[in-house]
Structure 1
Amino acid sequence: MSAILVLGLVLGLDNLQVGAALGMLEVSRRRRWAIALAFGACETVMPLLGMLLGRRLGEFLGPFTELFGSAVLALAGLLIIVMSWHERDTSQVAEGGFALLGLPVSLSIDNLLAGVGLGALGHPVLWSALAIGAMSTALCALGLFFGGWLRQRLPGRAELVGGMGLLVLSVLRLLGSDT
């Protein structure tokens, strides 16, 4: 059981980082919770699917898993940076459907593959998925609200920092996937 909780923590760290970057944008409290719950739902459903689909999906996706997730993060970061640079309202990024579907789905593909491994090892399907999903939801919410707290303390355009954070995270994910 403790191995599942540690795995949930590790798989949820990207949600913490993305949540903090999105939290730098002007987002209502209600929207922050909606984003956190969307991340949690994806992070719960994907291991379930992975455990049910088996090993073939992991073989099919292979090295493109990290590339896809990293590309989505980079695009989100660049969008926020460009909008901020041109002094446009960056809250559109967090208010649109992309934050509720695009980012959570792209970041939960690793959970899909983790589910494949957990299923192959015979771990309990429902308990494992719920534990991973709960951990991811909590970490995303922590990031979203911590990012909002940081926004209040940063001078100037905090959304630039958030966009740069997403961009740096995408590059680090790509560099880390080669090692």
Structure 2
Amino acid sequence: MTALATAAEMGQLITIVVMGIALGMDAFSLGIGIGLRGVRLLDIARISLIIGLFHVVMPLAGMFMGHYLGSLLGDVATMTGGGLLVLLGGHMIFSSLRGQEVKPIDHRTLWGLSFFAFSVSIDSMSVGVSLGMFSTDLAFTVLMFGLFGGVMSVFGLLLGRRAGHWVGEYGEALGGVILLAFGIRFLI
């Protein structure tokens, strides 16, 4: 019976890690989009820390909401996240086409950083609602989500920053297209 319990615990561990990686992939992909606009190393650290924190808080909030909101919140969370990404991506594209006339959403401001972190973490909340129906190790689960969200955003921001030098002035438009595409994917 102990070997069976250990195998079940190992399966749960692997599942949580894979879910953390999957949730972190959004932060990675969207980090590339933001990184294309040009981002300093200090901003990369700050953005990734905030995204990691949101990847802890959002599933934790979802887990505490419980089973009765699960079916409703899953669709609402995905639609809200998609809508936010479409707005952010559209704004970035519009800003790059209009030049200096329109001020882009600044990831260095508290509002801009919170907006970005929320948009990449909203799916963690719906996953948290689902996990709230099962008996999982709460601390381990949210820490893995936060770790992978933060680390994957670092990699995405660094990759976007590097590619931004190749793309030049079209970097913001390309980043906006990436964010817009992910937002549309969430809405469909």
Structure 1 length-normalised TM: 0.89
- Report the residue type matching 2:65 in the other structure: L
Quote how far apart the aligned CAs of 1:56 are. 2.5
Match for residue 106 of structure 1? 119
- Further displaced range: 36-45 or 166-175: 166-175
Counterpart selection for 2:81 from 51, 69, 77: 69
Identical pairs, percent: 28
Per-residue deviation, residues 50-95 of structure 1 (Å, max 9, x unmatched) = 2222113323424222111011101111111111112228675222
Counterpart selection for 1:146 from 144, 159, 166: 159
Quote how far apart the aligned CAs of 1:144 are. 0.6
- Report the residue type matching 2:171 in the other structure: A
Aligned residues: 175
Match for residue 141 of structure 2? 128
Gaps of 5+ in 2: 1-12
How do 1:68-87 residues align onto structure 2 when only pairs under 5 Å count? Answer: 68-87=80-99
Gaps of 5+ in 1: none
Match for residue 5 of structure 2? none
Pair 90,18 (structure 1): closer, same or farther in 2 beyond 3 Å? farther
Pair 59,172 (structure 1): closer, same or farther in 2 beyond 3 Å? closer
Whether contact under 8 Å (1:74, 1:166) holds in the other structure is yes
1:18 matched to 2:37? The reply is no
Computing the radius of gyration from Cα coordinates, the structure with the larger value is 2
Secondary structure of the 2:106 match is helix
Match for residue 163 of structure 1? 176
Whether contact under 8 Å (2:86, 2:183) holds in the other structure is yes
- Further displaced range: 5-14 or 80-89: 80-89
Whether contact under 8 Å (2:60, 2:125) holds in the other structure is yes
Counterpart selection for 2:187 from 156, 161, 174: 174
Per-residue deviation, residues 111-162 of structure 1 (Å, max 9, x unmatched) = 1121222232101001100011101111111111100000012244211111
